Chains A and B, each alone.
Chain A
Amino acid sequence: MMRRIVRRLVAGVVTVACIYTLTFVMVVSIPGNPFQQGARNMPAAAERALRARYHTDDNWRYFLDFLGGAVRLDFGPTFTYADWTCNEIIATALPVSAMLGLLAIVIAVAVGVPAGVVSAVRRGGWVDVGILTLVLAGISLPTFVTGAALLSVFAVYLKIAPVGGWGTLAHLPLPALTLSLPFVAYIARLTRMSMLDTLGSDFIRTALAKGLSRRTVVWKHALKPAFLPVLSYMGPASAQAMTGSFVVEKVFGVPGIGQHFVNAALNRDPGLILATVLVFATMLVALNIVVDVLYAWIDPRISEAV
């Protein structure tokens, strides 16, 4: 087991390094930079001086400088936000998004798994179609529409939630719910599919034949193996949910990190693009390793195989 984890860690570091390199190549090859935008054009000499100051005039140097800083967890300056370093932006925005994303994933599993199980057991019936329709409706609307709809129902008409903002527990449920909808849908469909596979296997037939109740068979015997694909999906899903969503943050006025992914790219801010990508990639790799360990813990056959 330990060997497996170490091997995964090494592979993870290599992956993150590749992602960094690829992003760097994209960042330096796209036209435009944060120093020249619309009305804010500055004199050529000033731009050259600024670029020299931050070593963005020498791609190799910038590549190594940023990498060296990133290893020491120092992502350097941003080029668009005055008085902020990338570290400060990440330190203030990431905890917000991580909390919201964690809650969203909890909601997604709590709703999506039971929905998928019920819909698999009643496969093809009206309950199945009803659940599938609801779940698909969740991913058939852009988040900015579902978010706005939730906002107008719960905050404007019923007045039981704040209209937006951040700071108290009351601010949590609506954005978390909005953020969770696509994940609920995916997890429900994944559970339904793997549950259908599992329900067709011999050990389920045996369990039923020896007289166990349907409830025990479905929720205990079948759910355990059927949950494994959901578990592997939860690695990338949590990484995605916990790095925020631009739309949810915009609709609900949440100061999370999702907006920086978009704004950094739109502003061609190399420091912030690289910093956010590194944060996302690291979380993705780390969560995938966590999921891997959990997977081997639930299904011991995996660790024997390695």
Chain B
Amino acid sequence: MTPRAQSRGAKYAVWASTVVLSIFVVTSIVTLPVSLRWYNVQELDVAVRHPPAFLPVVAIERYAGAAGHGAAPLWMRLAHRASSWFGHDDLGRSLLYRVLPAFFISSVIGLAAAAMAVGIGALWGAVAALAGGRTDMLMMRFVDVLYGLPYILMVILLKIALTRPLAALFGGYTKAADLVVLLVAIGGGSWLTMARVIRGQVLSLRNRSFIEAARAAGAGPVYILRRHLLPNLIGPIVVYATLVVPQAILQESFLSFLGIGVQQPTPSLGRLAADGVQAVNMYVDYWWMIVFPCGVLVLTLLALNFIGDAIRDAFDPKSSAPSVL
């Protein structure tokens, strides 16, 4: 085992992950104008549970009509060519144009949950560590107590509690309110580990000599935080945030399975996977309704996890120490 041969496999995995993720991100964003129009176009006559086909099953007039056009423009004709590649679901909707926005929506949920985990968790942990003493103990005890609550129960109760006030806040935009409730419920459950990680990091940094030197030189607490603590905290924050994204996407899929995740007809990867699993039974085999959403979900989460691990390896100086074996 030469060192070069050792790192090759991991390097390829990270490259493959980056390529796959970029392809997904670019296609889902580029096709958003089409998929946002077509994700809910139902064709009950010819396309119900139609298996994947290379040529479109649904006539373009159906899609064009839904978009309010007379003659279809070029981009629409091109998009139409691909409409049956992933098959059609139980309402005759094009699965391709449901999976594409689903990826986008799931990514937004994952990123927002990670942002919330970073915002609340990092602040909580840093404040606890810097305050020290009784405040620190109380704040971390609170985190311990929240750890003791069953996670799923917490998410459901948060969602129930938030639904009404947020719906009132958003007025008529129920879809937006739904999504925000989901984000807050998932994000509100995932900041605990972040708080612990950051507190530990700040505690170990606080007594290091370069902080002491800065303090001795007359630097104020804000300056120390911004100039010395934050740069050293970026590592764990980034690492943990990358790992929160796949967790949040999975969490949403679980809520969708329960029927309290993203509401129909809005697609998310978890929603589509749950729909697929529920549509299949011992007698019928609509494999495309499971394979395509789950395929995208698996590739996305695998890629995110691989990249997260690689970032962690890069930031963690200990794990790059040469192993004697």
The distance in angstroms between the C-alpha atoms of A130 and B290, with both chains bound, is 24
Q: How many A-B residue pairs have CB under 8 A?
A: 159
Residues of B within 8 A of A247 (CB): 254, 257
**A22 lies within 8 A of B156 (CB):** no
Would you list which residues of chain B between 274 and 309 have a CB under 8 Å from chain A?
Answer: 274, 277, 280, 282, 290, 294, 297-298, 300-302, 305-306, 309
A211 within 8 A of B: no
The distance in angstroms between the C-alpha atoms of A196 and B321, with both chains bound, is 9
Q: Mark A123-140, 1 if CB is under 8 A from B, else 0.
A: 111101110110011011
From A16, A29, A193, A199, give the contact of B148 (CB < 8 A). Answer: A16
From B5, B164, B254, B260, give the contact of A31 (CB < 8 A). Answer: B164
The distance in angstroms between the C-alpha atoms of A200 and B294, with both chains bound, is 39
| Shortest Cβ distance from residue A215 to the other chain B in the assembled complex, whole angstroms | 11
Interface-facing stretch out of A81-89, A100-108, A166-174, A261-269: A261-269
From B6, B141, B153, B297, give the contact of A265 (CB < 8 A). Answer: B153
Q: How large is the interface on B (under 10, 10 to 19, 20 to 34, 35 or more residues)?
A: 35 or more
The distance in angstroms between the C-alpha atoms of A204 and B325, with both chains bound, is 9
Residues of A within 8 A of B298 (CB): 137, 140-141
Q: Mark B210-253, 1 if CB is under 8 A from A, else 0.
A: 00000000000000000000000000000000000010001001
From A15, A18, A31, give the contact of B161 (CB < 8 A). Answer: A31
The distance in angstroms between the C-alpha atoms of A160 and B96, with both chains bound, is 35
The distance in angstroms between the C-alpha atoms of A7 and B318, with both chains bound, is 34
Contacts A140-B298, A140-B302; is A123 near B152 (CB within 8 Å)?
A: no
B120 within 8 A of A: no
- 13 further interface pairs, Cβ-Cβ under 8 Å (given A18-B145, A284-B148): A26-B157, A31-B164, A124-B8, A125-B8, A132-B309, A140-B250, A196-B319, A200-B323, A236-B147, A261-B153, A277-B153, A280-B148, A280-B149
Residues in A lying within 8 Å of B, measured CB to CB: 15-16, 18-19, 22-23, 26-27, 29-32, 121-126, 128-130, 132-133, 136-137, 139-145, 148, 152, 156, 163, 189, 193, 196-197, 199-200, 204-205, 208, 214, 218, 236, 243, 246-247, 261-262, 264-266, 268, 273, 276-277, 280-281, 284-285
Residues in B lying within 8 Å of A, measured CB to CB: 1, 5-10, 12-13, 141, 144-150, 152-153, 156-157, 160-161, 164, 246, 250, 253-254, 257-258, 260, 270, 273-274, 277, 280, 282, 290, 294, 297-298, 300-302, 305-306, 309, 318-319, 321-325
